[in-house]
Amino acid sequence: MNCFATPHGLRCGAVWTAGILLLLTSASTRADEPMTAGSFDPFAPAAPEGARTFVEATWVRPERPYAFHHDAPLHAEEKLEEETDAYRVYRVEFDGSKGDRVPGYLYIPKDKAAQHPAVLLQYGSGGHKKTDYIVLIGRLFAEAGFVVLTIDSPGRGERKKPGDKEPALGLADRDRFTHYLADYARAVDYLESRSEVDRRRIGYVGISWGAITGIVYAAHDERIRAVASLVGGGRFLAVLSGAGRDEATRRRSLDPVDHVRLIEPRPLLLLNVKRDQLVPLPFSTALHDAAGPSAKKVWLDTDHYFRHVDIRKVVREEVIAFMRHHLDKD
């Protein structure tokens, strides 16, 4: 099976994988037909008596799939890129988890506060730190008084080199996936090094692939005090890789469904959409079920790209308000 990333998500060449995704999306994700919670999920066995879901009944605590490098020097650099009345934007760079350099954009509010809450903000599969919606969300958070960091992940943005090839499994490749996670931890190391950041008030906000990887990352990093997942999901990594669900496999799982409960009791926002072209309902509801009742779950009647809704209003009223409430309370 060959999978590769495009600006619109994962594309997989295997006939059986395409058939599975076609079955799911054709059943429930037509742009003119909102999905319903009763949609058929061919991957979900019946839950045993007394269990909320099958995932809950068979859960095995997963191993942390990435290494911390907190003691390694960052060798950080910064350069002012943009300045407005409300914030400054710096291009920053620091040492990553594999010794390479990680470039990013750092947004710092121009207000009188000595320290601010902060978020690590990450994008979908084809994005990078300059992607338009990430820039928009970064600016909205900065205007609301948050320090924001968004980094170029391995093979994205400035880290994509001429001649680079996607791994055979694309973003589902284990080495690529765990490289993302370890660099997220390094990004939080960098945020903690900034005098403008209150280390007790750091959150994570991920969109699409940034939500999928972010759930797995944040589950194992207690420095992340609140998590927002936008149009994320779970269980499909096992489908794409053809992996079984025996206990040993589940311990090494990279699927958000297997990791999400480790975020508790920290606040978690799961924001999904009813007309998602890229994360079919069985995959988004699988994540909701695994997260349990303590997570805040929001469904919007739009598609994966938030067309026909005011994205600024959604970010301000759902995501920023959630982060402000929980990080300020913390």
Q: So what's the pLDDT on residue 160?
A: 77
Q: So what's the pLDDT on residue 239?
A: 61
Q: Which residue has the higher pLDDT, 104 or 22?
A: 104
Lowest mean pLDDT among 123-127, 166-170, 244-248, 255-259: 166-170
Q: For residue 9, what pLDDT band results from cuts at 50, 70 and 90?
A: very low
Q: For residue 245, what pLDDT band results from cuts at 50, 70 and 90?
A: low
Query: Cβ(43)–Cβ(17) under 8 Å?
Result: no
Vertex 33: Cα angle to 231 and 303 (nearest 5): 25
Question: To which H or E segment does residue 287 belong?
Answer: helix 281-291
**What is the 3-state composition of the chain as percent helix, strand, coil, each rounded to the nearest 5?**
35, 25, 40
Q: Is the pLDDT of residue 59 over 80?
A: no
Kindly state the tokens that stand for 211. Answer: 């939500």
Helix (H, G, I), strand (E, B) or coil at 222: coil
What sign has the CA pseudo-torsion 160, 238, 296, 225? negative
Residues 3-329, CATH architecture = 3-Layer(aba) Sandwich (3.40)
**Where in the chain are the domains?**
3-329
Q: So what's the pLDDT on residue 250?
A: 80
Question: Once rounded to an integer, what is the mean pLDDT over residues 80-104?
Answer: 96
Q: So what's the pLDDT on residue 47?
A: 45
Per residue in 130-162, pLDDT (tens digit) is 999 999 999 999 999 999 999 998 878 677 777
Distance from C-alpha of 244 to C-alpha of 19, rounded to nearest angstrom: 19
Distance from C-alpha of 259 to C-alpha of 1, rounded to nearest angstrom: 25
Question: Once rounded to an integer, what is the mean pLDDT over residues 175-191?
Answer: 95
Lowest mean pLDDT among 3-17, 83-97, 217-231: 3-17
| Residue whose token pair is 């929001």 | 298
In terms of average pLDDT, the best of 6-10, 49-53, 264-268 is 264-268
Q: So what's the pLDDT on residue 44?
A: 45
Kindly state the tokens that stand for 181. Answer: 């996670």
| Residue whose token pair is 């990013």 | 104
Q: In the chain, what percentage of residues exceed pLDDT 70?
A: 76
What are the C-alpha distances in Å from 267 to residues 30, 54, 78, 182, 297?
Answer: 32, 23, 32, 22, 11
Q: Give every CB contact of residue 19 below 8 A, 6+ residues apart in sequence.
A: none
Query: Cβ(234)–Cβ(208) under 8 Å?
Result: no
Per residue in 270-327, pLDDT (tens digit) is 999 999 999 989 999 999 999 988 899 999 999 999 998 999 999 999 999 999 999 9
Beta bridge mates, 202: 118, 224
